[in-house]
Chains A and B, each alone.
Chain A
Amino acid sequence: MCHNHDDILRSKNKDLQKIERQMDRRNFLTKTSMGLGAIALSSLLNTEKAFASVKNGGLDNSSSEALLKSYNKNRLGLPHHLPKAKRIVYLFQSGGPSQFEMWDYKPKLKNMFGQDLPDSVRQGQRLTGMSAKQTSFPMAPSIFDFKQYGKTGTWASDLLPYTSEVVDELCFIKSMQTDQINHDPAITFMQTGNQLAGRPSIGSWLSYGLGSDNDNLPTFITLITKNMGGQPLYSRLWGNGFLPTEHQGVQFRSGKDPVLYLSDPENYDGTDRRQMLNYLGKLNEVQHDAYGDPEINARMAQYEMAFRMQTSVPEVTDMSDEPDYIFDMYGEDSRDPGTYAANCLMARKLLEKDVKFVQLYHQGWDQHSNCPGGVKAQCLRTDQANAALIKDLKQRGMLEDTLVVWGGEFGRTVYSQGQLTPQNYGRDHHPKAFTMWMAGAGVKDGYTHGETDDFSYNVIKDPVHVHDFHATLLHLFGIDHERLTFKHQGRRFRLTDVHGHVVKDILS
Chain B
Amino acid sequence: MIALEFTTFIGRFHPLFVHLPIGFILLAILLEWWESFRRKETLNALIPIAWFIGGLAAFAAALCGWYLGETGLYEEDKIFLHRWLGITLVPIAFVGWWVKRKYNSYHKAVQHGFNILLIILLSVEGHKGANLTHGESYLTEYAPKPIQKLFASKDVDGFKLLSNNPDSVRVYTDLIQPLFDAKCVSCHGNEVKRGGLNMSHPDSLLLGGDGGQVLLIGNAGESELFRRITLPQNNSKFMPPTNSVLTYDEIKTVEWWIDEGASFENMVSQVEVGKSIKPLLLRRFGLDTTPRPWYQKVQIAPLDSTQIASLIQEGFFVKTFGENNSLLDVSYTGLDLTREKLRALDVAKNHITWLSFTETNVVDEWLSVISGFKNLTRLELDKTIISDRGIVYLRDLTHLEVLNMYDSKISNASLPFLQKLPELKRVYLSRTQVTEDAAKAVLGGKEDVSFIVDENFKN
Contact = CB atoms under 8 A, between A and B. Distances in A.
Interface of A: 36, 39-40, 43, 47-48, 50-51, 54-55, 58-59, 78-83, 213, 323, 325, 329, 354, 391, 394-397, 400, 478
Contacts of A323: 458
B306 interface: yes
B322 A78 contact: yes
B323 A81 contact: yes
Central interface residue in A36, A51, A58, A478, by most chain B CB within 10 Å: A51
A219 B386 CA distance: 30
Contact of A79 (B296, B321, B452, B457): B321
Interface residues of B, number: 32
B452 A394 contact: yes
Nearest to A55: B312
Contact of A51 (B308, B323, B382): B308
Contacts of A78: 322
Contacts of B431: 395
B186 interface: no
Interface in B282-310: 295-296, 305-306, 308-309
B325 interface: yes
Contact of A395 (B312, B402, B428): B428
Nearest to B428: A397
B428 A40 contact: no
A39 B296 CA distance: 29
Given A51-B312, A79-B321, A213-B317, 20 more contacts: A43-B305, A43-B306, A43-B309, A47-B308, A54-B309, A59-B313, A78-B322, A79-B322, A80-B322, A80-B323, A81-B324, A82-B296, A82-B325, A354-B333, A395-B430, A395-B452, A395-B454, A395-B457, A397-B426, A397-B428
Contacts of B313: 54-55, 58-59
Interface of B: 295-296, 305-306, 308-309, 312-313, 317-318, 320-325, 333, 378, 380, 382, 402, 404, 406, 426, 428, 430-431, 452, 454, 456-458
Contacts of B312: 51, 54-55
6 contacts: A43-B305, A51-B305, A51-B309, A51-B312, A55-B312, A396-B382
B321 A397 contact: no
A325 B458 contact: yes
A81 B452 contact: no
A247 B431 CA distance: 36
A213 B331 CA distance: 10
Contacts of B317: 213
Nearest to B453: A395
A339 B323 CA distance: 43
The 3 A-B pairs of least Cβ separation, nearest first, read: A397-B404, A397-B428, A43-B305
B316 to A, nearest CB: 10
Contacts of B296: 82
Contacts of B452: 394-395, 397
A478 B406 contact: no
A354 B332 CA distance: 12
Contacts of A83: 321-322
Contacts of B402: 397, 400
Contacts of A354: 333
A502 B4 CA distance: 61
Contacts of A47: 305, 308, 320
Contacts of B306: 36, 39-40, 43
